[in-house]
Amino acid sequence: MDFESVLEKCGSFGRYQFVLLVLYGYTNILSSFHYFSQTIISFTPPHSCVAEATSGSYVSINGSYLDRCSYTKWNSDESMSEEFKCQSWQFERESNYESITTELEWVCDDAYKLAVGQSFFFIGSVLGTIFFGYLADRIGRLKACMLTTLTGAFGDFITSFVNSLPLFSAGRFVAGLSTDTQYILMYILVFEYLSPKHRTLGLNIVLAVFYCVGLVISPWVAIWVGTWRNYLWAASLPALGVLCYPCLLFESAEWLLTKRQFEKAAECLRRIAKFNRRQVDEYVFDEFIKHYHEKINVEQKTTNDTFMGMLRTPRLRKFTIILLIKSMIITVAFDILSRNMEGMGTSPFMLFSYTSFTYLPAGLTIILFQNYIGRKGMACASLFVGAVITAVTGYLIANLDPAEHSLVLALMVGLGRYGGVVAYDAEAQYAAEIIPTSVRGRGMSNIHVVGYAFGFFSSYIIFLGTFYKPLPSIFISLLMFIGSALCLALPETVKRKLPQTLTDGETFGVGEKWYYFPCFSQKRIQDGETISVATIENTHTATLPK
């Protein structure tokens, strides 16, 4: 009568899981509005310098009429008078949308201010992910999820009132505190209450649909409300809906088990059974509590598992380092591919909105293939294919005129986002299954915080394009090729009983070959069967059932 057995009796894909998935979808909409607010509020439209010729002189043509950052005055005899820096600009606003760039005129010499604000956003994400990840394993997944969502919304809200760089940076720092955890903590709650055979479908289809909806409508919401300040209000106020979560959701029973709160875990399962209209005998819960009490007495395990403990044993250390590197690679690739919307010959609002539809086929790709080729195969293939797409896209961007080939470039940008989304989503589920339950909250948070810390360098990677236009794409594609190769050193997790403790994690997948993929093995795992960690501990081999 372990957790998975009792959950199956109480319902692992019933009415409660439906409500859980709906709220997971709502959280994804909030997350998409929040994360990409950085992009929406800072679109920089084409602009020209506002300058007037004085008596006896005229303004020069510097490459294009009225250079964006400076202009030159010429005397009537065509001798140079003087070169001046622009003090004001005329912006070609799309649908009269007022971004922070156009309102505060953060262009030319002041263009760095956007980069500074974005850097504080990522600094906040690093600290916030560590803090809320720790909090999730101290006070519970549900409470931490609510707190992080409200914190991020508060950061967006106060940003809408700023008029200077210091205040803008402070607002983005607060907003960045919840960049990743509001999504990840809700992901963990859904992950732990869904049956293994429904995880891929439930998690990825909801993510694909709801996150896609949030991204597709966000540019149009910005145009509808008219200004970046109003957009931040529209993106932050719906977060108040998470205050209803405690009335509809239960705390993670698996987290309660790691804290030895067995009676509370059993009560959560009782309430789920009632919600799902399942009749479960009371002796089942008594046996459930007895099982975990006996497990403690026999194994003499403590509840002092920490994330640093994953670095003390050789196999878990290897897995952890690979997951950290993968997170760095995927976060940078995803961020650059999702934000680089300008200079493609198409409205950045339209390009961002339309290419966001790639989240749907990306989610379907994972649903259709992840259980068949395995988690390792999906992670490896998505990074490899994404690397190829990114390299080809960079080459075309460098060699095609945006004005004449805007449609082709838009299609390639969409393909690039598709590859980045598949890799990002596949990595999230794969990491959650490898990390033991006892440190899953801190583990997922710390792995993602390293990724976001590395994401700080995204703007510098884009800057490489000033030396050679395809260089950012080449750099990203090389990183993705490296990430694809590293996936081969991780264990397969599909249809296996996942590790609960660090001890389980150390013996997880022992004896498995690096080239093992379920779809190519003659000994495939049949539906509904699992390989228990206990069996692996006893045999020290990962023997798959015929």
Q: What does the block give as tokens for 189?
A: 């709650």
Query: What are the sequence ranges of the domains in the chain?
Result: 1-41+102-296, 47-91, 305-536
Residue 82 and residue 58: Cα distance in Å, rounded? 11
pLDDT in tens, 191-205: 889 887 787 677 778
Residue 244 and residue 438: Cα distance in Å, rounded? 27
305-536: in CATH 3.40.50.2000: no
**Is the pLDDT assigned to residue 83 strictly greater than 70?**
no
pLDDT in tens, 85-127: 777 788 888 888 999 988 988 887 787 888 788 778 888 888 8
Annotate 246-283 with b (16+ C-beta within 10 A) or e (fewer).
eeebbbbbbbbbbeebbebbbbbbbebbebbeeebeee
Q: Average pLDDT, stretch 308-318?
A: 84
Q: What is the pLDDT of residue 248?
A: 92
Amino acid at site 231: Y
Residue 361: Cβ within 10 Å count: 16
- Element holding 71 (H helix, E strand): strand 70-75
Cα 264 → chain centroid: 31
1-41+102-296: in CATH 3.30.365.10: no
**Is the pLDDT assigned to residue 167 strictly greater than 90?**
yes
**Is the pLDDT assigned to residue 535 strictly greater than 50?**
no
| Cβ within 8 Å of residue 475, ≥6 positions away | 461, 464
pLDDT in tens, 374-429: 888 888 888 898 888 888 877 787 777 777 777 887 888 888 888 888 888 788 77
Contact of 429 with 194, CB cutoff 8 Å: no
Q: Which DSSP state fits 435? A: S
Q: List residues bridging with 71 in a β-sheet.
A: 84
Q: Which residue has the tokens 């300040």?
A: 229
By percentage, how much of the chain surpasses pLDDT 90?
22
User: Average model confidence (pLDDT) for the chain?
Assistant: 80
Give the ranges where 340-455 is alpha helix by DSSP (H): 348-355, 359-399, 406-434, 440-455
Amino acid at site 204: N
Q: Average pLDDT, stretch 60-81?
A: 53
pLDDT in tens, 12-57: 888 999 999 999 999 999 999 998 888 889 888 877 777 655 444 4
pLDDT in tens, 419-471: 888 888 788 778 888 888 778 767 877 787 788 788 777 777 776 765 677 78
Contact of 59 with 73, CB cutoff 8 Å: yes
Q: What is the pLDDT of residue 154?
A: 96
Contact of 34 with 153, CB cutoff 8 Å: yes
**Is the pLDDT assigned to residue 78 strictly greater than 70?**
no
Residue 80: pLDDT band by 50, 70, 90 thresholds? low
Residue 517 and residue 369: Cα distance in Å, rounded? 12
Q: What is the pLDDT of residue 150?
A: 95
| Cβ within 8 Å of residue 150, ≥6 positions away | 239, 240, 242
Contact of 365 with 224, CB cutoff 8 Å: no
More confident residue, 537 or 295: 295
| Cβ within 8 Å of residue 147, ≥6 positions away | 132, 135
Q: What is the pLDDT of residue 74?
A: 59
Annotate 296-331 with b (16+ C-beta within 10 A) or e (fewer).
eeeeebeeebebebbeebeebeebbebbbbbbbbbb
Q: Could you give the 3-state DSSP secondary structure of residue 89?
A: strand
Query: Closest by alpha carbon to 245, among 294, 291, 185, 192?
Result: 185
pLDDT in tens, 468-516: 777 888 888 899 999 999 988 888 888 777 887 888 888 887 877 777 7
Q: Which DSSP state fits 277? A: T
C-alpha dihedral, 32 to 335 to 204 to 393, nearest 10°? 120
Give the CA count within 13 Å in the CB-facing half-sphere of 450. 16
Annotate 128-160 with b (16+ C-beta within 10 A) or e (fewer).
bbbbbbbbbbeebbbbbbbbbbbbbbbbbbbbb
One fold for 1-41+102-296 and 305-536: yes
Helix axes 181-193, 15-35, angle to 10 degrees: 160
Q: List residues bridging with 48 in a β-sheet.
A: 90
Q: Could you give the 3-state DSSP secondary structure of residue 167?
A: helix
